[in-house]
Amino acid sequence: IVVFAERDLDAVRPTAGGAIVTRVPLTVDIPEQPLDPVGSEPPTIVFVGSFGHPPNVDAALWLAGTIFPRVAELVPEARLELVGHAPGDQVRALARGAITVHASVPDVTPYLDRAAVVVAPIRIGGSMRMKVLESLAAGKALVASPRAAEGVEELAGEQLLIAVDADEMVDALTSLLLDPARRRGLAESARRWAESNLGWERGVAAFEELYDTFGGIRGR
């Protein structure tokens, strides 16, 4: 049995019935060059996700309806961009004023590049989020909910900010929008961590070790 997060090992082993349970780390493409660690003006918060996935719809509604209005009171020039595949009527209706919805774009890189902050405000569902790992690999300042940060919780404060509720989400986003130097520091730390931990070589090595284990079992 293969799991991708350390916390899943303890959860799965008691019910595995003696089967081998091992962790293979998730990997992502590491861009040759990081994206802009600060972003461009006006300061923009970007949320990327497929809007055919209910947790992303819930996150977009919460972000646009509850979080962003409070951020905009403190940072009037702030913008919010929701970027993703197949936004339904609920998500499309969020586009107003400083909020823009970009549907089914061919490449999310330009939106991430100009983002001051990338946000992952997932409240429901589970498992590690590839978009979180991709943002770290791209070298962007990232604010995530505990759900979105599952599997990388140990990075809190150094490579990303974790916000447990609406107040913390507003505070984290606002503080980063107002502090380009802090955005840069968080983004550069995220990129360094990703280069050491998310490359495909690490995943390949883990699978090779797993196959070697199978070979040893067959040889007994």
Residue 220 has pLDDT above 90, yes or no: no
Task: Convert the pLDDT of each residue in 130-146 to its tens digit.
Answer: 899 999 999 999 999 99
CB environment 141-180: b (16+ within 10 A), e (fewer): bbbbbebbbbbbeebeeebbbbbeeeeebbbbbbbbbeee
Task: Convert the pLDDT of each residue in 5-56 to its tens digit.
Answer: 666 777 788 888 878 777 766 778 899 999 999 999 999 999 999 999 999 9
What domains are there in the chain, each with its CATH number? 2-27+200-218 (no CATH), 44-197 (3.40.50.2000)
Mean of all residue pLDDT scores within the chain = 90
C-alpha distances in angstroms, 137 versus 24, 80, 97, 129?
18, 22, 31, 13
Beta sheet of 44-48, edge-to-edge order? 99-103, 79-84, 44-48, 117-120, 142-144, 161-162
- Enter the pTM of the model: 0.86
Q: Position of tokens 């802090």?
A: 182
- Give the residue with greater pLDDT, 201 vs 75: 75
Task: Kindly state the tokens that stand for 14.
Answer: 């008691």
Contact in structure between 48 and 112 (CB atoms under 8 Å)? yes
